[in-house]
Structure 1
């Protein structure tokens, strides 16, 4: 009997241990918070940039690349960016833009005028992708345009050039005779002639955006023709270097070219794309992006002037500051009349101001420019 009782007691003890163990295993396990779960983390927003040149040009593409890096610095892990350089303005552009869309990129930035038609074509095929085109005019439900009123900074640089050129003969290396470039040449000339009514701006076309050899050759031709100050609408520092080698001064473009060439670069109208890129991507991430045609100016910080060279006198910098304040306050803008065309006709009558559409389609030179637009 004792043996039976002992056996029953041991059995009961073992059963209680067994069920206690089972009960312990059934206790709820703490869940990993959603924010900490790798599987539930949101995928980063993917943005691709298509460049006409190389970031090493120290000019146009260099500034777009700085803008891309600004995005990464500001948005961190929320965004993933990439870029491709040296993309021709032709059918290849459509292929590359399409590939980015097919690979799941959420937004694509095309940074040169000649990409417009190709981006527009691809935008029709991918309605859920955001497309942003620099300097063009075609838009769609999912495609916007963006640019800056560089003509304002060009005008300010023209003031510096007009005050600094001893001969009044200024050389301008131009890329293509399109409205963007013609507008910049005209604004620069208006600035130069405001402080020196006899100043002239001679234009040589290279018909390329990025070609260091052609840019240098054009600058040398202008120097040989008696110009003592060189500027350009091109993508590299070669015109500035050519001027420096001749003991002449220059005005930079796109970026602060004085950092790369030296004090012979008096000042540079430059781009500041970073804030626009970051804000546009954030709008898309938040689902509030809408198609638009952005054209910001000095007031918006998209265009600006670099620091002045020590060669620029205080009276000139003070004048630039005064004119900047007028433009930013909306009291005046560059293409407010009277403005005469190259042939002497009235381009903008006194008391009137040129409309944005007219500026965006500008095709003739102002008085003081030497050269042809091809239009």
Structure 2
């Protein structure tokens, strides 16, 4: 299965202004038609659910000036190209493809429909009418790590990985570095499920980590199953993509939320005004693309204050999760003291930092 949410740092191009779509509307002069294609069900309560919340925010913002639609659970491959083509043929002038595995399909269909704007989530290939967008999820993982370092008693914390790709690896590393900031001798264990959305496998992974002694777990998968498992077994956890607090009212201490609404509203407005340009967007906490939900009441007040200060520092760009010195598992310096990793290197990260007690799959 192709990974869906990884930028590799290549193809970051200058913006193209698509003037031919100024004041884009359906041919009958009606609302701007916008379509969304999802890789999973909107009921996953994670990735696809959160993208659909962005779609609903567009409807709320623009009312009858827009008409939105979506297709969920679209496989990555030939089906994606077929669905995108149908969306363009149906008169949609703005189409969002929300999975990395949709990249080639989006590129192919964009060439066939030059008067339609396509936006691809987490890819790196652009065209005059194709832009890409992503979020700096690793910032939330770093904050989660600091929280884990403050709350863990076992000094062993866990991470449920989807696929061994740079985006997930950088999340594991950011989580570990955050925990080390306040607990230097912490170790992180990783269990891979090789799926973005599989509640059964996700629950099994959570229980496996707990059985290995982890008393704090986070996930890079999309269902609330790990949160439910942690709640049942009395282990601290952090939710993923959307607010999962309701699935672990006692044990889910916060969630790392992907907020796509601002970007979707901005993009729709630009298409309507004729100012849209093809760009590569990578937003984080500073841009409101990554948000931590309010801290659970079980987080001590002094820790909440520490976390608030940390989030403020990340937003102000005075704090970076990958600021040197950082060593890999072999003890080699990969980020020198006083420097911050470049986006290009970050987007190709395929090594574990010191403190990760697992082997990265080849």
Answer yes or no: same fold by TM over 0.5. yes
Indicate conservation of the 8 Å contact 2:231/2:250, yes or no: no
Aligned equivalent of 1:221, options 196, 204, 208: 208
Shift of 1:41: 7.5
Q: Which runs of 5+ in 2 are unaligned?
A: 1-26
- Equivalences for 1:231-246 in 2 at 5 Å? 231-246=218-233
Whose radius of gyration is greater, 1 or 2?
1
Aligned equivalent of 2:323, options 313, 332, 336: 336
Q: For this pair of structures, how many residues does the alignment match?
A: 336
Does residue 93 of structure 1 match 2:93?
A: no
User: Hey, what's the Cα distance between the residues in 1 that align with 2:283 and 2:87?
Assistant: 27
Structure 2 SS opposite 1:108: strand
Instruction: Tell me what 1:262 maps to.
Output: 249
Indicate conservation of the 8 Å contact 1:48/1:83, yes or no: yes
- Equivalences for 1:55-204 in 2 at 5 Å? 55-204=42-191
Shift of 1:371: 2.2
Instruction: Tell me what 2:259 maps to.
Output: 272
Shift of 1:358: 1.1
Shift of 1:171: 1.4
Instruction: Tell me what 1:370 maps to.
Output: 357
User: Hey, what's the Cα distance between the residues in 1 that align with 2:114 and 2:340?
Assistant: 38
Instruction: Tell me what 2:194 maps to.
Output: 207
CA RMSD of aligned residues (A): 1.4
Instruction: Tell me what 2:33 maps to.
Output: 46
Shift of 1:259: 2.4
Shift of 1:139: 1.0
Structure 2 SS opposite 1:285: helix
Structure 2 SS opposite 1:330: coil
Shift of 1:161: 0.9
Q: Which moved more, 1:40-49 or 1:364-373?
A: 40-49
Indicate conservation of the 8 Å contact 1:161/1:251, yes or no: no
Q: Give structure 1 regions of 4+ aligned residues with deviation exceeding 3 angstroms.
A: none
User: Hey, what's the Cα distance between the residues in 2 that align with 1:307 and 1:210?
Assistant: 25
Indicate conservation of the 8 Å contact 2:331/2:354, yes or no: yes
Indicate conservation of the 8 Å contact 2:155/2:186, yes or no: yes
Indicate conservation of the 8 Å contact 1:123/1:131, yes or no: yes
Return the structure number with greater relative CO, CA threshold 8 A, min gap 6: 2
User: Hey, what's the Cα distance between the residues in 2 that align with 1:371 and 1:94?
Assistant: 37
Q: Deviations over 1:2-26 (max 9, x none)?
A: xxxxxxxxxxxxxxxxxxxxxxxxx
Shift of 1:370: 2.2
Structure 1 SS opposite 2:102: helix
User: Hey, what's the Cα distance between the residues in 2 that align with 1:46 and 1:299?
Assistant: 30
User: Hey, what's the Cα distance between the residues in 1 that align with 2:319 and 2:214?
Assistant: 30
Q: TM-score, normalised by structure 1?
A: 0.87
User: Hey, what's the Cα distance between the residues in 2 that align with 1:109 and 1:372?
Assistant: 36
Indicate conservation of the 8 Å contact 2:228/2:247, yes or no: no
User: Hey, what's the Cα distance between the residues in 2 that align with 1:287 and 1:65?
Assistant: 24
Aligned equivalent of 2:240, options 229, 239, 253: 253
Q: TM-score, normalised by structure 2?
A: 0.90
Which of the two has greater helix per residue? Answer: 1
Q: Which moved more, 1:230-239 or 1:330-339?
A: 330-339
